[in-house]
Structure 1
Amino acid sequence: MSTSNLVVRRLAGALAAAGLMGATAAQAGEVEVLHWWTSGGEAKAATALKGKLLALGHTWRDFAVAGGGGDSAMTVLKSRVVSGNAPAAAQIKGPSIQEWAREGVLAPIDDVAKANNWDTLLPKSIADGLKYKGSYVAAPVNVHRVNWLWANPAVFQKAGVKVPTTWDEFFTAAEALKKAGVIPVAHGGQNWQDFTTFEAVALGVGGTDFYKKALVQLDQGTLKSATMEKVLATFKKVKDYTDRNAAGRDWNLATAMVINGQAGMQIMGDWAKGEFLAAGKVPGKDFVCSPAPGTGKAYTYNVDSFAMFKLKNDANVKAQKDLAAAIMSPEFQEVFNLNKGSIPVRLNMDLAKFDDCAKQSSADFVASSKSGALLPSIAHGMAAPSAAEGAIKDAVSQFWNTDKMTPKEAMDRIASAAKQK
């Protein structure tokens, strides 16, 4: 039996046990779901969501658009909405949810949220991001920790160094890996991957308060500060330890380089863990998950959500609401996140089946939410308006790819980009 069929069968059994099956033929509708989960671990997770809807008696129409950062998917979505043919649900997150809601195209799902106690099951900061004018318009699937460093322990042992927890240790390790004949840092030269690395450096070098002021509040003084100059210099130094073939490489291919020992480490969110697990690797043995250097007490998050678009067909509206309810059910939260590499967004979930990386992520998620160090990821659409985020992302990649650009010049470009509305 294929893995996909097995996931669907297991979900059907779990749903039947939970009493969530039972959409009759008269109630059955179709949900067209736009997402960008196309790599190995992600595709298994998407299959889990499909299985959930099939088990409820509905029809699932997959609308997958490849591209790890979701930029391509958003371009396609805009054309569909403009033409009056929006999907039932689309993978949207952060301030973009409110931007779509302001256009009047999203459907409120407060009845589903209230019936299933979402306000008590979600951290307030997460719940607020799913609402527009007090009404839920999106359902959250998971929580990804973005500030992770992934490492191959066998490669590090060969080089005679430990997995770094500070930026000084990072560059010491990178130099040792290089001398051992290994690519120190696996990287994909795409702007969102550059931005992910930049964000980790900004938090690790600048700290929580700096990150909030610079990348959430977009404070001009902080964006032009001496600390930002140091962040940019450190960020550019990371590039020295990537390989010449990085340009255009997809993130999962960079992860594969760490998996097969071609590279020592990768800075990437915990969706990378799904690739290690799909390859049969065991956390703590075959790979190491560690907070990115200097970020151990902070947590940058990326919450995948499905925004619900207004539909006219009653059966499809019912299917859409069933989709929203299914997404937040404990059964789905467990199966989905076990496949995706992320952790459940529901509080107080049983994590017995989850690995040590997920358990650490969950503990740090709770701790950082209490300490004020739970931070939205600007690189993954959680922190800034889309126009400013896109402009800053472009400025960061220009600096990464332009050898003669100084940190001061990059700083001015980033500060200017932050003014985009």
Structure 2
Amino acid sequence: MLELARIRKEKETIIERLKLRNFDGKELIENILVLDGNWRESKQELEKIAAESNQLAKSIGSLFKEGKQDEANKAKARAGELKELEKNAKEAMNAYAEKLQAALYEVPNVPNPSVPAGNSDEDNEVLSNSGTIPTKLDFWQPHWELAKKYDIIDFEVGVKVTGAGFPFYKGQGARLQRALINFFLDQARDNGYTEIIPPFVVNEASGIGTGQLPDKEGQMYHATIDDLYLIPTAEIPLTNMYRNELVKSTDLPIKLTGYTPCFRREAGSYGSDVRGLNRLHQFDKVELVRIEHPDNSYAVLDEMVKYVQDILTKLELPYRTLRLCGGDLGFTSALTFDLEVYSAAQDKWLEVSSVSNFETFQANRLKLRFKDENNNKQLVHTLNGSALALPRILAALLENNQTEEGIKIPAALVPYTGFDIIKN
């Protein structure tokens, strides 16, 4: 959520920069400033009424003691009027506050100046390509066929037990999935991240804190009886550990990692892009969360991108790095880099990680601050990145490492799987 002080100070810049998202924020920003003005006026009126009430309360007793009955009674009558005025002013102030909060929730984060213009993922900027794209051989198959061939993932029983998008991993497929999770967690631990096992459901305040709520896209699973939400990413519980906290500058940086299943309705997703592991309603992911001093966050963003690139190199997967254009930028992000791996069997790039800097957008919602060297309270910057989401990593590993003998396992994973090839 953008800070009101920033909106007041940088109105025109914010409106102009939001255009990078193809978001016309002029009317909304103007409305926010009107509501802000109304709220401040009602607050001042309330304070004025309260001051007069306090003054009268002090004088009534003195007037009675002095025998000034008429004046005392007039003061009491006025106090009664003020009580009603105070009630009305408080209701008006709270109504403006609610409308102002709701309007602020509608404004996405302001894109960083380096975000390129564009309307969709087709306009994202390719920054680099790494690794060698394998040549597709005649016998190569997509991962959903390999899953059947080697009996390692069962999509059909997933449909029977739950529904589409909830596969069963079996045998060597389950072991490979667990190996990837442990490998990713160990990589994070070796790079100074503290491992957390968080809850997989969160309350509404947590969803609001990181910006997933209000859920405009209807993508979160909602357990309505208990008013809890299944997490679409570990970013939510990990970041919300510090909601309403004032941390010391010496506590920064805070580096967290966690493995969780993730739940996404993926409403409106159709076609070849959702086949097999390409898009699931439940999937596993290891997440990185950083809480940083504002001066350091963009250097840290580059560091996190390099970290994910190194993991993909260890997995021997060809990948490319993209800077997302304004039209593809997430609601809460100021700048996002995506990493995609190439699947030769599908002849397509598969997104496996997004690494984002939210600047103060989440911290303002979370009321997450630190004390600087001058003992002033400042909002931190928050960042997060997938390191990594498993389904498309697994798909690319299966598809790119096919041989006539079986599917070879990258050397970095063999100590985790206990086998170096998947075969019948």
Identify whether the pair has TM-score above 0.5, normalized to the shorter chain. Answer: no
TM-score (norm 1): 0.23
* Structure label with greater radius of gyration: 2
**Structure with greater helix share of residues:** 1
TM-score (norm 2): 0.23
